[in-house]
Chain A
Amino acid sequence: QPQLQESGPGLVKPSETLSLTCSVSGGSISSSSYYWGWIRQPPGKGLEWIGNIYYSGSAYYNSSLKSRATISVDTSKNQFSLKLSSVTAADAAVYYCARLSRSSTVTQRGAFDIWGQGTKVTVSS
């Protein structure tokens, strides 16, 4: 069973850029069967999808983030990363990385079947 682990600063200043990395172990990030995603959960609230990336670099984003999010992949390190620019207090959340298992090889549709444990990010000066 593959494992995912988030890493990055737990504290980010307002207006700065949040940077997180997800390391994948026990499986290859370059598999055609999967996309890789970021989801966040503000304190006491529900889940919000941020975006997904394929090992080729093809990415999809939640339009509500207004182009502040960028997801990249490093197949040599078996990692993918999230950058979120111009953060505010509203971006404080637990950030999860997750594996999206494609329903078939002709679609990006799929559910998130393996999740990291999550990393808490606080936005404060």
Chain B
Amino acid sequence: DIQMTQSPSTLSASIGDRVTITCRASQSITSWLAWYQQKPGKAPNLLISKASSLESGVPSRFSGSGSGTEFTLTISSLQPDDSATYYCQQYNTYWTFGQGTKVEIK
């Protein structure tokens, strides 16, 4: 099974900061990676698919990069509405989620 490891588990940043979350796969998944945002009590929302393809309606401050085993989600200028937990998910071989990264606003 492919394992997904996110870092950090929690991060605290100020409004306007550039924020980066890393996701590592236990083996190559080429670009078959998605990022989701989840707010408390809500279902996850797909932000990015195929590592770097921004979903329709997602603000352009979100971007994804990487291939193989290392991937990043970047928020270029953190906004209050971005306070949430973010999950990566591989879909190269079945489907596996990372453990999540909680983003807090200072």
A positions within 8 Å CB-CB of B: 37, 46-49, 52, 60, 62-64, 96, 98, 101, 103, 109-113, 115-118
Contact = CB atoms under 8 A, between A and B. Distances in A.
Contacts of B98: 46
Given A96-B43, A116-B43, A49 B32 contact: no
Given A103-B50, A113-B55, A117-B43, A46 B95 contact: no
Contacts of A110: 49, 91
A118 B95 CA distance: 19
A49 B94 contact: yes
A112 B44 contact: yes
A49 B97 CA distance: 8
B46 A111 contact: yes
B89 interface: yes
B43 A118 contact: yes
Contacts of B46: 111-113
A67 to B, nearest CB: 15
B100 A111 contact: no
A46 B99 contact: yes
Interface residues of B, number: 24
A46 B43 contact: no
13 contacts: A46-B98, A47-B36, A48-B97, A49-B95, A49-B96, A109-B92, A111-B89, A112-B36, A112-B44, A113-B46, A115-B44, A115-B45, A118-B43
B87 interface: yes
B1 interface: yes
B103 interface: no
B23 interface: no
B34 interface: yes
Contacts of B94: 49, 60, 62
